[in-house]
């Protein structure tokens, strides 16, 4: 199980980091508790938070991107990119 430190200066930090970790895991299509690199991903999330990132979605996306780079895989596109791709597909004429 992933352990995130409870003695942080931010009282809501623990909940924010746990949420970001779960979101990053979902982006990577991994289980946040049983995946072999869940602890490493949690560490990336904690570092980003402690470096001053406070937006949970931004932390999750950045952590997923960094973890994907470490593993040598390409993460799935985020919701905004998927939305643009879908819009472009709708505009294409079918022949």
Query: Once rounded to an integer, what is the mean pLDDT over residues 38-59?
Result: 94
Phi, psi of 34 (to 5 degrees): -105, -10
* Per-residue confidence band for 23, with pLDDT thresholds at 50, 70 and 90: very high
Residue 24 has pLDDT above 80, yes or no: yes
Q: What is the DSSP letter of 94?
A: P
| DSSP code per residue over 30-76 | --TTTSTTHHHHHHHHHHHHHTT---HHHHHHHHHHHHHHHHT-PPP
With a pLDDT cut of 70, the percent of the chain lying above it is 69
Contact status, residue 44 vs residue 67, Cβ threshold 8 Å: yes
């Amino acid at each position: 199980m992933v352990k995130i430190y409870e003695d942080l200066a931010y009282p809501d930090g623990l909940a924010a980091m746990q949420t970001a970790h779960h979101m990053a895991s979902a982006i990577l299509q991994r289980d946040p508790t049983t995946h072999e690199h869940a602890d490493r991903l949690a560490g990336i999330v904690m570092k980003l938070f402690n470096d001053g990132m406070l937006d949970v979605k931004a932390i999750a996306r950045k952590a997923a991107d960094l973890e994907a780079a470490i593993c040598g895989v390409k993460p799935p596109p985020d919701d905004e990119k998927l939305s643009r791709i879908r819009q472009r597909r709708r505009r294409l004429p079918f022949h």
